[in-house]
Structure 1
Amino acid sequence: MIRGVVEPARLGQVVLPDGRRLGWAEWGPEDGVPVLLCPGGATSRSMGFGGDVVGQLGVRLVSVDRPGLGASDPSPGRTLDAFARDIGRFVEARRLSGVAAVGFSAGAPFALACAAAGVVRGVAVVAGTDELANPVFAEVLAPDVRRLVETVASDPERAEVFFSGFSAEAMWSFVIPTLADVDRAVYTDPVFERVYRRAMDEAFSQGPAGYARDTVLTMSPWPFDPGTLRVPVDLWYGARDTSTVHSPDFGASLAGRLPAAERRVLPEAGGSLLWTHAEEILRSLLERTRGR
């Protein structure tokens, strides 16, 4: 079942101390437990999940556009650490407390960066992009992904120029043929496809620079050591996920590096489990972060 692809209940922007704006969207009760969503690559704040369960779970889901995407102002040369600082200021400005995070796909490194910075009290990584530049993956990455990771390492500016050649339409045409049947059924569902494609259009509304910077960061070494994270981290993967840019081992090596990780590989699921298993993901995150 595709869970909760619904319109945001609230939209807005927060002005940071340097004058930049971060765009946000919310679902669920305003007095609910705040859960920050770090969206997948090339999508915007409007692509939520679990819209049909956040109310009963008491979750206030908050999705934030990363700089240069959607309704958030650009921040050229930004880093994962800089994003975490932005979110720290965002949380303070919106007076959110006890925030947990969900990082989907390419949003996973951003959510973990927030945990490393002490901004969130727990993370659910869902079909998350792993640290692809980690030497443990050197021999197991798909050849085209390995070449991109090597280009990012040797010439990040050239890599960023390459990624700037993508558009919302190009991303759709690139992603859909690579999906397993279980995921293609989700992404091409008429309601889901409309929301997803709109989120991609919004992500590229300022041009491709925001997406390009995001992608360079997801293919670069992480600036934090996962072994230093003391917050609980749920790792959720679908065994039928065919993406070459999520995790080559479905989070197995990452689970070994995170002191408080629980890893789940669902045999019947694909990479779209954020929408097919929303309630399970949110319930576990709430349970594991309760009282922290």
Structure 2
Amino acid sequence: MDYGVWEPARLGQIQLPDGRLLGWAEWGPADGTPVLLCPGAATSRWLAFGGGVIDAAGVRLVSVDRPGLGASDPAPGRTLTDWAIDIRHLVQERALGAPSAVGFSQGAPFALALAANGSVNAVAVVSGSDELAHPRFAHSLNPQVRGMVDAVAADSDAAEASFAGFGSAGTLWDLIITTSPEADRAVYTDPAFQHAFRRAMNEAFSQGPAGYARDTVLAMGRWPFDLTDVAVPVDLWYGQQDTSPVHSPDLGESLARMIPTSTRHLLPAAGGSLLWTHAEAVLRTLLAHDR
């Protein structure tokens, strides 16, 4: 089955004002409607979604490597707000106008940071991580995830070093496969998809694990923006079969209550891989906000 993980149409880097390079990849027509992709944990600009749907919908999909991953230079100590500033420069350099954003899995807080900072006009959170350090999840986290959240709260530097020691493409691939339901494993182990996914993970760790570790600290800690202040449309997409312990524990239910502009889409037969199994619905709904 074609899950839309096509080769990029264009690849490149921009130079930021502080001299760092930020890597990007694009799919779809160069004059299409711009959509920024914030990829999941430990992946890179190489893993797309949508394939032919993107071309048919006239979407210019732009995936960006976060600092320290893939083709983007490190930025030690970076924050979610720093990410929004980097993206503002990317938008200007690549003439993206007023883009929307998609945040998959651990990419969710990065996409929501763009919304909170006024950098995008709409967001789709797909199988997203939630603000796991928020008190509303005090008693509902997987014990291992609770340990990670508590470690970040107690000493974020020590937690970051611990995540770096754990992080590798192989280790995280094994974790994804063992914590996914059969519906998701069927997607992830499809030969074409697995090749694309593993390549994206290997590329993400090409500079070592520090970029992944910093991302994880930012995702597992308190987010530096108030979700109730998000003013652009936000679609929350979750599959009821999703068993990932690091996605939203209540599949976006309380997140939808916190974001006043949000709409929750709960798909009974889908799992965490719905970015690839339901790409057309995600994109069409996102594009409708532009109209």
TM-score by length of 1: 0.98
Letter in 1 for 2:187: V
Following TM superposition, by how much is the alpha carbon of 1:3 offset from its aligned partner in structure 2, in angstroms?
2.8
After TM superposition, which residue ranges in structure 1, 4 or more long, deviate above 6 angstroms?
none
Letter in 1 for 2:175: F
Mapped pair 1:230 → 2:231: yes
Match of 2:139? 139
Q: Distance in 1 between matches of 2:279 and 2:176?
A: 22
Following TM superposition, by how much is the alpha carbon of 1:289 offset from its aligned partner in structure 2, in angstroms?
3.1
Letter in 1 for 2:245: T
Match of 1:100? 100
Q: Distance in 1 between matches of 2:121 and 2:2?
A: 28
Q: Is the 8 A contact 1:2 1:186 kept in 2?
A: no
Letter in 2 for 1:200: M
Q: Distance in 1 between matches of 2:212 and 2:193?
A: 21
In structure 2, runs of 5+ residues without a counterpart are none
Q: Is the 8 A contact 2:14 2:90 kept in 1?
A: yes
Match of 1:79? 79
Q: Is the 8 A contact 1:22 1:73 kept in 2?
A: yes
Q: Distance in 2 between matches of 1:112 and 1:35?
A: 14
Letter in 2 for 1:218: A
Mapped pair 1:121 → 2:121: yes
Following TM superposition, by how much is the alpha carbon of 1:172 offset from its aligned partner in structure 2, in angstroms?
1.0
Following TM superposition, by how much is the alpha carbon of 1:2 offset from its aligned partner in structure 2, in angstroms?
4.7
In structure 1, runs of 5+ residues without a counterpart are none
Q: Distance in 2 between matches of 1:22 and 1:51?
A: 23
Match of 2:182? 181
Q: Distance in 2 between matches of 1:185 and 1:3?
A: 11
Following TM superposition, by how much is the alpha carbon of 1:283 offset from its aligned partner in structure 2, in angstroms?
0.1
1:75-113 Cα shifts (integer Å, max 9, x gaps): 000000000000011101111112000000000000000
Work out the percentage of aligned pairs sharing the same amino acid. 64
Match of 2:8? 8
TM-score by length of 2: 0.98
Q: Is the 8 A contact 2:3 2:193 kept in 1?
A: no
Match of 1:158? 158
Correspondences of 1:182-197 after superposition (within 5 Å): 182-197=183-198
Match of 1:288? 289
Q: Distance in 1 between matches of 2:58 and 2:290?
A: 14
Alignment length (residue pairs): 290
Tell me the SS of whatever aligns to 2:24: strand
Q: Is the 8 A contact 1:3 1:277 kept in 2?
A: no
Tell me the SS of whatever aligns to 1:101: strand
Letter in 2 for 1:263: R
Q: Distance in 1 between matches of 2:74 and 2:224?
A: 21
1:55-84 Cα shifts (integer Å, max 9, x gaps): 110100000000000000000000000000
